[in-house]
Structure 1
């Protein structure tokens, strides 16, 4: 492959990897609402069990719930690994490149004015070629690692959602009975208290009438 073809190929790949980086980071940001949803599901069950002291004895519930919580922690771990700890290399700004070009042109002009532009063009293109090769390699490695961690985070997130959602089935199949019993007890107590109050009021009224 000719130098010009390789130069064009590496240049295209350099900008391709920058586009891939943006897509990965967009996908990572888009997953935040799912994190919040699963966190809300876990927090709700936590509030209904640990905080109020009601601990279902259902092993299936605890298996789903704890495994879902663990998967959620892994999802957070991989999400953080996908978002932080990466250093991307970027081609210098046009001002920097222009300054570099003018400097080497000036240096070569002191040696040979007739060949200065040709030498400068060759050195400048070699510099860009080196940048595209080195920077594309680094950015590709970053994107591959970010994509892998993003995929692991998404897989853990889906698993966490499924497990936590499934834990609601045994939770509501067992806990509502106790909740209903408590509700019935409270209703019965209230009704009894109401009857006693009515009976007392009736007795008081009868006593008043007899007097």
Structure 2
């Protein structure tokens, strides 16, 4: 296989590994979403757990939930390693490559001028196309080799993470079956849920107190004086005349200096 065919192979391999990089990132995100869904389900069951239910079922549910949480940390560990801390090597930007080509053109002119000035110390001529091709060939080869190793390592980490996720799903499945079979959901329609409205309770207490006071009055604890048949109430009293309002003219008030 000649160098040109190897160049084409390394170029295809480079772009292939970049596509694999995106696919691996999508797999990591999907696994993260599965873990988040599992945590959401377990959180709901823990929040709605009826602590007055079957104590054995509650114990089994609690143990399985705890085991599931502990195992899921192993999955998270490998997912974090697969998602962060992985460095890929990319090809130089077209601008940098073009600048390198322009530098080669100037270098070729300098070599030619040097050979003219010092014919006894001639330097080999610079082939610009060969130098640029060699530059691209080397970068495609090195970058594709490095990115292949990174993708292989990330794939192994995702595989381990998914394995731990499967292990964590077993106790989670048992906890879910226990939660449903023993009806441990406190919001289940088969259970009576006591609802306390504080405002209604306060109003009822006030009504109760008023009824108690009325009952005590009715029993005679606070007797109202009886009205005799020949009783004549006193005549209405005349209103009291208002006192005179003193007017003070401009000047000091009496005894103001005392």
Does TM, normalized by the shorter one, top 0.5?
Answer: yes
Change (3 A) 1:176 1:63: closer
The root-mean-square deviation of aligned C-alpha atoms, in Å, is 3.2
> Does residue 148 of structure 1 match 2:156?
yes
Structure 2 residue 10 is the aligned partner of structure 1 residue 2:
no
The equivalences for 1:197-208 within 5 A come to: none
Shift of residue 175, structure 1, vs aligned partner: 6.1
User: Shift of the alpha carbon at 1:66?
Assistant: 3.0
For 1:85, what is the secondary structure of its paired residue? Answer: coil
Name the one with the larger helix percent.
1
Equivalent pair of 2:78/2:161 in contact (CA under 8 Å): yes
1: CA distance, partners of 2:20 / 2:164: 22
Partner-residue secondary structure (3-state), 2:111? coil
Distance change (3 Å), C-alpha of 1:33 and 1:164: same
Q: In structure 1, what is the Cα distance between the partners aligned to 2:134 and 2:53?
A: 71
Aligned 1:58-73 pairs, distance under 5 A: 58=57, 60-73=60-73
Question: 2:209 is matched with which residue?
Answer: none
1:158 is aligned to 166
Aligned-pair CA distance for 1:184 = 7.0
How many Å apart are 1:143 and its aligned residue?
0.7
Which structure's CA Rg is the greater one? 2
Give the alignment's TM-score, normalised by structure 2. Answer: 0.60
Contact 1:24 1:146 in 2 (8 A): yes
Instruction: Please list every run of 5 or more consecutive structure 1 residues that lacks an aligned counterpart in the other structure.
Output: 187-211
Unaligned ranges ≥5, structure 2: 114-123, 195-258
CA–CA distance in structure 2, aligned partners of residues 169 and 179 of structure 1: 17
**Alpha-carbon distance in structure 1 between the residues aligned to 2:12 and 2:171:** 43
Structure possessing the higher relative contact order (Cα contacts under 8 Å, 6 or more residues apart): 1
Q: Deviations over 1:115-165 (max 9, x none)?
A: 96x711111111111111211111111111111111222232233234302
The number of aligned residues is 182
Alpha carbons of 1:24 and 1:177: their partners in 2 closer, same or farther (altered >3 Å)? closer
